[in-house]
Structure 1
């Protein structure tokens, strides 16, 4: 299930899309220091869907009337939303860097639609290729901090409609049935849920090196 859609603060204001061109950002930093160490944070880990597909799918989701779409970058979940102590961020980033270091780029192909109804009101674009890579990453990410246990069996997907009327959900399922896109996965991102209800990338983790990068500003 795509629990990124269950926000814990105010409604989304503003948006964030996938990375332009689908490649990693240029600047690099280390996975240490610079953290505020007080309070709690809500984080998630995901593979961002690169542009133009990321922005395209976000706009499609908005067109179906999904009010959360503008605050959720298009993604494939690896770690669902997790509330952590801010002091844990350093250890989490070090773990994610190690996971990325052990991986290599792989291909994802999106094709067709699926749904979790009636268990959960979600319509999604399905993965026709790349599910094994996503499942492997998911297991590695969950093996370290914050150590969340999955609520449901892992099923990588890209949400295009959530908690809408049956009519809107049916429309999303039918209209996206022929959707197709393919791209190379370069790594994954750590996201943080803001007080304004928007999910924003905090760090990017590049496959093969474990390099940690500060994500560029991403518009709607």
Structure 2
């Protein structure tokens, strides 16, 4: 089965992001706005309990993450994804790095870790340019602390569902 690990922002921020995603993101119906911590990976049913134990151990090593978002950016020309840029944060980086450490057999990831929340994807070049210009005119500024992250699994209809929630160490 396909699994992934993500961190969900507050409902307030999700609602704001979804007001754009429903127009510009074909994955809108599959998963709420999130910060991807570990790209999708395959896991056998027999491995799930051990994986949950590893993730719980990691969660206990990381304190809650304060996210700050103050700009829109894009991965163009690599791909036409427009996103809210999450500023670098040592706790977020540590969490990502631990989830890709020696305890996980599928440590590889396709891209470098750029914390973000996707607004638009799958756009043609001209559409991407127009939407990016429009989004850059909007004043985005959010700050919040997130104290949990989720192990997700993908259903047959491509929708992602929460398998387990992990609370970060509150010190």
Contact 2:71 2:85 in 1 (8 A): yes
Q: TM-score, normalised by structure 1?
A: 0.70
In 2, Cα distance between equivalents of 1:146 and 1:54: 32
In 2, Cα distance between equivalents of 1:111 and 1:139: 24
Q: After superposition, where does 1:1-16 map in structure 2 within 5 Å?
A: none
Correspondent of 1:163 among 118, 122, 125: 122
Q: Alignment partner of 1:70: what SS?
A: coil
Query: Could you give the per-residue CA deviations for residues 141-182 of structure 1, whole angstroms, max 9, x where no partner exists?
Result: 111234331222211111111111224322432333222211
Q: Does 1:57 align with 2:17?
A: yes
Q: Does 1:46 align with 2:6?
A: yes
2:93 match = 135
Contact 1:103 1:207 in 2 (8 A): yes
Correspondent of 1:196 among 151, 157, 163: 157
In 2, Cα distance between equivalents of 1:175 and 1:91: 46
Residues 171 and 49 (structure 1), Cα distance of their counterparts in 2 relative to 1, 3 Å cut: farther
How many correspondences in the alignment?
167
Two-structure CA RMSD over aligned residues (Å): 1.7
Residues 146 and 59 (structure 1), Cα distance of their counterparts in 2 relative to 1, 3 Å cut: farther
Q: Does 1:74 align with 2:33?
A: yes
Structure 1 gap segments, 5+ residues each: 1-40, 210-220
In 2, Cα distance between equivalents of 1:133 and 1:168: 35
In 2, Cα distance between equivalents of 1:132 and 1:200: 27
Query: Could you give the per-residue CA deviations for residues 13-58 of structure 1, whole angstroms, max 9, x where no partner exists?
Result: xxxxxxxxxxxxxxxxxxxxxxxxxxxx101001112111113212
Contact 1:79 1:142 in 2 (8 A): yes
Structure 2 gap segments, 5+ residues each: none
Q: Does 1:181 align with 2:142?
A: yes
Query: Could you give the per-residue CA deviations for residues 117-154 of structure 1, whole angstroms, max 9, x where no partner exists?
Result: 111221111123x4332211111011123433122221
1:85 match = 44
Correspondent of 2:65 among 106, 120, 134: 106
Shift of 1:95: 0.7
Q: TM-score, normalised by structure 2?
A: 0.89
